[in-house]
Structure 1
Amino acid sequence: MLNRLPRWIEAGAFVLAAIAGLVNAVGLLGVAHQAVSHLSGTATLFAIAATELQSKPQLVFHLLIILLSFVLGAAISGVLLHGQTLKLGRHYDTLLWVEALLLAAAAWLLTADLQAGLYCASMACGMQNALVTNYSGAIIRTTHLTGIFTDLGLMLGAWCRGERLDKRKVGLFLLIICGFIGGGSVGALLWPLLSFQVLYLAAIACGVLALIYLRLRHQSA
């Protein structure tokens, strides 16, 4: 599957991973140490809070909305994207613009101390994760690293058995890891200066990606 993807996909995956890493760092630093780019931790917090529903109904509702926001973002990608192959001309730019708007809204709302900003950030991450998964067949994930590290471990084990190592896939996975960690570092470094407004940088990055995609599409027309 990966070998059929164009070479520029590595650069896009790196930037998207950096965006997710930055958003997640902001969530961990500013929203009760809560990750927003993936749902494992949020689902666990929801399970714990659900056992104390009578005393913490607002927390249960809040975590449920975060989970549903992520799903809604993925659903928006599902509506706009048709087919599971990467093809210039599809609505990738539209999704990137919507993600940029959601991240900008998240920055504005969280700066105003409104929890709705967290829902916008979660929706943006769900949209991004679905966008990438749709055309890569789940080979590429940019909003979390668990699957990436698992795949690297599997490939290392297969290589130890004597199988050929797919160097392009390894390189792509390392780029995603570096992008996610690098984005998280940028978010952490800028957090003391900009607080939630760091998310505006992620929104700008999404907009830049959308413009680059439009340029590629026009060049291929």
Structure 2
Amino acid sequence: MLRKYSNHRTVSDNIKLGGLTAFSAGMVNVISVIVFFSFTSNITGYYAVFAQELSKGNWYQGAVVLFWILLFFFGSLISNLVIIHGKKLWGQYISHAVPVILELLSILFVGVYLDFFYKDTLQETELLVGALLFAMGLQNGLTASISNSVIKTTHLTGLTTDLAILVSMFTKSKNRQNKQLVDKFHLLLTILFSYFLGGLVSGLYYVKFGNQTFYLVCFVLVIIAFFDFYKLKRVKYLYERRARIKKASCKEYGMS
């Protein structure tokens, strides 16, 4: 899911990564709306808010919104810097997993702060919203980079447009037989459904468990970060086991 890069990725790799990251993004967006009354999975609307605040002369509010936009930007920037330069230091898998771990730590920080330190002040809220936007920037930068911009999971505006284009293309029978287009359609539907499902789960979970919902998001990110680690360990174990069995069989055959 995280090991492969760009054109080396399979449709299955992209569907797994897109589905799980979209699920976590949907969770984050809904929980941030519930707790902070702010969207955090994308910054499209914040550009309009930024212009509005400046036009009204609300310099402080404008600066806060600009701060949020920059945090999303730097999240994506850091994610791609790690991917580009981390491969030589740690290998491809770890360099792809680091942005997910940083995202996890950002969301964990928000959950812990809400549980133990939050005084419900405006400044605290602005900081925590910024932390979530930074986390979503990390995620969007990662998924877009390693999938060659095929996967973008933190906002659905462009995805909905792409779906509409594909549906219109499928009105021609030859396009319905095009495997590349069909695979893309399945990927986009997976991301859309996963985002919605993540938001639904987040809202329902918050009703019973409150701010602990942030820890559930962290659990999903742990799965994303370490899924390939488990898979690699399992493959290595099976390979070594077969080698031992083969070696034992050869010895037994030699003795006989």
Could you say which TM-score interval applies, normalised by the shorter chain? 0.7 to 0.9
Identify which of 176, 186, 210 aligns with 1:171: 186
Give the aligned partner of residue 155 of structure 2. Answer: 144
CA contact (8 A) 2:108 2:218 kept: yes
Unaligned runs of 5+ in 1: none
CA gap 1:88/1:218 in 2 versus in 1, 3 angstroms? farther
Between the aligned partners of 1:206 and 1:131, the Cα distance in structure 2 is 13
Give the aligned partner of residue 203 of structure 2. Answer: 188
Larger radius of gyration: 2
Give the aligned partner of residue 19 of structure 1. Answer: 24
Identify which of 116, 125, 131 aligns with 1:120: 131
RMSD: 2.3
Identify which of 131, 151, 154 aligns with 2:165: 154
1:38 equivalent to 2:53? Answer no
CA contact (8 A) 1:72 1:126 kept: yes
| Secondary structure of the structure 1 residue equivalent to 2:67 | helix
CA contact (8 A) 1:93 1:210 kept: yes
1:1-80 aligned at under 5 Å gives the runs: 4-6=8-10, 7-32=12-37, 34-53=38-57, 56-80=58-82
Identify which of 99, 102, 105 aligns with 2:106: 102
Between the aligned partners of 2:235 and 2:52, the Cα distance in structure 1 is 51
Cα deviation 1:14-71 (Å, max 9, x = unaligned): 1110100010001222223x21000111222222112123xx3332222111111101
Q: Which of the two has greater helix per residue?
A: 2
CA gap 1:162/1:196 in 2 versus in 1, 3 angstroms? same
Q: How far 1:4 moved relative to its partner?
A: 4.8
Between the aligned partners of 1:159 and 1:3, the Cα distance in structure 2 is 24
Provide the TM-score with structure 2 as the length reference. 0.76
Between the aligned partners of 2:229 and 2:44, the Cα distance in structure 1 is 34
Provide the TM-score with structure 1 as the length reference. 0.87
Q: How far 1:169 moved relative to its partner?
A: 1.4
Between the aligned partners of 2:235 and 2:80, the Cα distance in structure 1 is 25
Between the aligned partners of 1:195 and 1:71, the Cα distance in structure 2 is 29
Between the aligned partners of 1:81 and 1:47, the Cα distance in structure 2 is 33
Q: What is the one-letter code of the residue matched to 1:94?
A: V
CA contact (8 A) 2:79 2:138 kept: yes
